[in-house]
């Protein structure tokens, strides 16, 4: 396997990373372009856009200027603070409850609603539906969290139609930034196609229902049906990404919301050094991410290390040490999933065997899979020194818990309630 000479991404990283002639990946090249962007010239564009939609909504006597999809994570907390305080917007917060909640995630969402004093609508899937979908999509595409992504990418658009609020404000363009899929000058906006291709792995709920023998019902999949073109056009729904208008640094947002807004971080993680990201569901940093490792040989620690290297906050060597420590770790929430879905380890392994990248994984003996390569073997590849970035910032501690919103929920697992006021 070839690995980026600057960060730690493998050449098979999803979605669609490209290594150039110097062995540097498209995500690193995109990050390199950041300093040349005049962010201060983009801020007025955002202000004008927000003011336009605000004026239209208020002229209609609609109480909501925009919709902000929220999970209660550090980015959505920052987004709400930004739009509420700096741009004087009245947002409707919209959240999809995947039901595999963590206690800390519920506390953070509660804290966000209280601190920012916002209206929130939340769609809660039936826990049985969530589990059926997770199990079905595990076998199909190796993803137990398909419904998380389908829910948070679809329900806000449905809310936009229902409440007649055209503007949906997203934070960053997700993984496309990590692998450099779009240029910042593209000002890429939310589309049904992007949602389907990347977040829903190519499947609309209609596609799943048409499959012979599909165990899922229309009831299970109800929250994931996208509105019709006519509805989208009638309301004029438009989804923008703040990361096109301002320098988006999740780490800095985390530091801000911990310091100013009572955002709570994890005490420790099984599969990454990052204590502030993906806190709201039990599988995001666990089984969901481990599946990426089982399929492609890398996990979230690789994502986060690459992000830090590009920001000059970590060396490639420090990053490789972290990847070696975390990416292969079997997460404990896997046992929760196996128990809830009535599967054994062997059944799980057999179910995803066809999804393992054959360029990385070999089966040496029945039931024994072995990764044939790792970035650990590429510490001293030719070209690494030439690709190295200067390191302007010292490595910092990765955020300890700063506050607790309250001892309301202490148990991880299925939670359909989310707030006690
Ligand atoms: Zn790279």
Cβ pair 109, 71 in contact under 8 A? yes
**Comparing C-alpha atoms, which of 59, 70, 42 is closest to residue 187?**
42
Query: For the residues of 174-211, what is the DSSP string, one character each?
Result: THHHHHT-S-GGG-----HHHIIIIISTT--HHHHHHS
Cβ pair 404, 264 in contact under 8 A? yes
How many angstroms separate the Cα of 239 from the Cα of each of 55, 187, 361?
Answer: 18, 11, 39
Mean pLDDT of 249-267: 87
Backbone angles phi, psi at 395, to 5 degrees: -70, 140
Structure confidence at residue 255 (pLDDT): 86
Question: How far does the centroid of ligand 1 lie from the alpha carbon of residue 7, in Å?
Answer: 4
Strands 368-371 and 361-365: antiparallel
Question: How far does the centroid of ligand 1 lie from the alpha carbon of residue 274, in Å?
Answer: 19
Structure confidence at residue 172 (pLDDT): 86
How many angstroms separate the Cα of 407 from the Cα of each of 254, 267, 335?
Answer: 21, 15, 26
Question: How far does the centroid of ligand 1 lie from the alpha carbon of residue 292, in Å?
Answer: 18
Question: How far does the centroid of ligand 1 lie from the alpha carbon of residue 371, in Å?
Answer: 21
Q: Is 49 left (phi over 0), alpha (psi -120 to 50) or beta?
A: alpha
Torsion of CA 335, 341, 347, 353, to 10 degrees: -90
Structure confidence at residue 400 (pLDDT): 42
Question: How far does the centroid of ligand 1 lie from the alpha carbon of residue 31, in Å?
Answer: 9
pTM for the predicted model, two decimal places = 0.86
Question: How far does the centroid of ligand 1 lie from the alpha carbon of residue 304, in Å?
Answer: 12
Least confident window among 46-50, 78-82, 149-153, 348-352: 348-352
Token digits for 170? 């997203």
Structure confidence at residue 142 (pLDDT): 87
Each residue of 189-233: pLDDT tens digit? 998 888 888 888 889 999 999 999 999 999 999 999 999 999 999
Q: How far apart, in whole angstroms, are the C-alpha atoms of residue 260 and residue 252?
A: 12
Question: How far does the centroid of ligand 1 lie from the alpha carbon of residue 204, in Å?
Answer: 32
Mean pLDDT of 231-245: 96
Question: How far does the centroid of ligand 1 lie from the alpha carbon of residue 369, in Å?
Answer: 27
- Alpha helices, DSSP H only, in 60-174? 74-81, 103-116, 127-141, 146-163
Mean pLDDT of 70-75: 92
Question: How far does the centroid of ligand 1 lie from the alpha carbon of residue 21, in Å?
Answer: 13
In 221-365 the beta strands, taken as DSSP E runs, fall at: 238-241, 361-365
Backbone angles phi, psi at 324, to 5 degrees: -60, -30
Q: How far apart, in whole angstroms, are the C-alpha atoms of residue 49 and residue 102?
A: 36
Burial class (CB in 10 A: 0-12, 13-18, 19+), 316: buried
Token digits for 67? 């919709």
- 241, pLDDT greater than 70: yes
- 62, pLDDT greater than 90: yes
């Amino acid at each position: 396997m070839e690995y980026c000479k600057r960060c730690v991404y493998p050449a098979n990283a999803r979605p669609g990373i490209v290594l150039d002639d110097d062995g540097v990946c498209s995500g690193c090249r995109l990050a390199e372009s950041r300093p040349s962007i005049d962010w201060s010239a983009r801020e007025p564009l955002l202000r004008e856009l927000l003011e336009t939609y605000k004026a239209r909504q208020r002229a209609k006597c609609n109480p909501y200027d925009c919709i902000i999809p929220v999970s209660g994570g550090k980015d959505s907390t920052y987004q709400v603070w930004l739009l509420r305080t700096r741009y004087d917007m009245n947002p409707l917060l919209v959240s999809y409850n995947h039901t595999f909640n963590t206690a800390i995630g519920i506390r953070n969402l509660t804290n966000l609603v209280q601190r920012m004093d916002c209206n929130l609508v939340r769609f809660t899937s039936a826990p049985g539906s969530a589990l059926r979908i997770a199990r079905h999509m595990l076998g199909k595409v190796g993803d137990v969290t398909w419904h998380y992504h389908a829910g948070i990418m679809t329900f806000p658009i449905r809310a936009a139609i229902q409440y007649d609020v055209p503007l949906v404000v997203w934070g960053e363009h997700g993984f496309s930034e990590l692998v450099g899929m779009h240029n910042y000058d593209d000002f890429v906006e939310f589309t049904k196609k992007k949602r389907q291709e990347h977040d829903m792995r190519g499947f609309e709920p209609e596609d799943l229902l048409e499959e012979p023998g599909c165990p899922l019902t229309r009831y299970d999949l109800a929250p994931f049906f996208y509105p019709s073109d006519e509805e989208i056009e009638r309301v004029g729904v438009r989804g923008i990404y703040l990361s096109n208008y301002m320098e988006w640094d999740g780490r800095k947002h985390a530091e801000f919301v911990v310091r100013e807004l009572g955002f709570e971080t994890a005490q420790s993680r099984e599969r990454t050094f990052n204590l502030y990201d993906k806190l709201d569901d039990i599988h995001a940093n666990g089984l969901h991410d481990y599946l990426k490792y089982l399929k492609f040989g890398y996990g979230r620690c690789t994502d986060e290390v690459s992000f830090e290297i590009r920001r000059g906050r970590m060396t490639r060597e420090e990053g490789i040490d972290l990847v070696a420590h975390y990416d292969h770790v079997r997460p404990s929430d896997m046992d929760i999933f196996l128990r809830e879905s009535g599967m054994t380890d062997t059944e799980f392994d057999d179910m995803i065997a066809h999804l393992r990248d054959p360029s990385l994984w070999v089966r040496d003996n029945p039931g024994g899979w072995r990764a044939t390569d790792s970035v650990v073997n590429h510490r001293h590849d030719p070209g690494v020194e030439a690709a190295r970035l200067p390191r302007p910032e010292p490595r910092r501690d990765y955020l300890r818990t700063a506050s607790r919103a309250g001892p309301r929920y202490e148990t991880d697992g299925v939670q359909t309630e989310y707030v006690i006021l």
